[in-house]
């Protein structure tokens, strides 16, 4: 068993990190909502913090148009529309954490 010494060791012991059992909550996988005919999902390819949402539900977007911007590792990464269409849903808000593979928007193809 690992034992700490000094002030740090005392704090770790009081917090339960030494001599105790860690309690972990398993991550839940949320099912993605089904899409309507003609709709296609836009998923984030990276994890990060959502910095800007550039579109709203009902907006028309061109192929390659920027939908939102994610900040990850001090870089700004644009999530772009893979095709032209109308935004039918935006599933994220500025400041929220985004996981890789998370659905961030839905577009109805034109």
User: Mean pLDDT across the stretch 103-109?
Assistant: 96
pLDDT at 110 over 80: yes
Domain boundaries, the chain: 30-109
Query: Kind of pairing, strands 39-43 and 103-109?
Result: antiparallel
Does residue 71 have a pLDDT over 60?
yes
Given CA atoms 101, 107, 109, 110 in this order, what sign does their dihedral have? negative
pTM for the model: 0.69
Predicted confidence at residue 2, as pLDDT, reads: 47
Write down the CATH number for the domain with range 30-109: 2.40.50.100
Give the per-residue pLDDT at 109: 93
pLDDT digits (tens, 9 = 90+) for 72-97: 999 999 999 999 999 999 999 999 99
pLDDT digits (tens, 9 = 90+) for 13-66: 665 555 555 444 444 455 677 888 899 999 999 999 999 999 999 999 999 999
What per-residue confidence (pLDDT) applies to 24? 46
């Amino acid at each position: 068993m690992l034992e700490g010494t000094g002030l740090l060791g005392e704090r770790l012991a009081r917090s339960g990190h030494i001599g105790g059992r860690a309690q972990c909550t398993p991550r839940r996988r949320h099912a993605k909502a089904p899409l309507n005919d003609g709709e296609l999902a836009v998923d984030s390819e990276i994890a990060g913090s959502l910095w800007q949402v550039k579109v709203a539900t009902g907006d028309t977007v061109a192929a390659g148009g920027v939908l939102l911007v994610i900040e990850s590792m001090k870089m700004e990464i644009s999530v772009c529309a893979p095709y032209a269409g109308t935004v039918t849903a935006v599933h994220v808000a500025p400041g929220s954490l985004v996981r890789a593979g998370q659905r961030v928007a839905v577009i109805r193809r034109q």
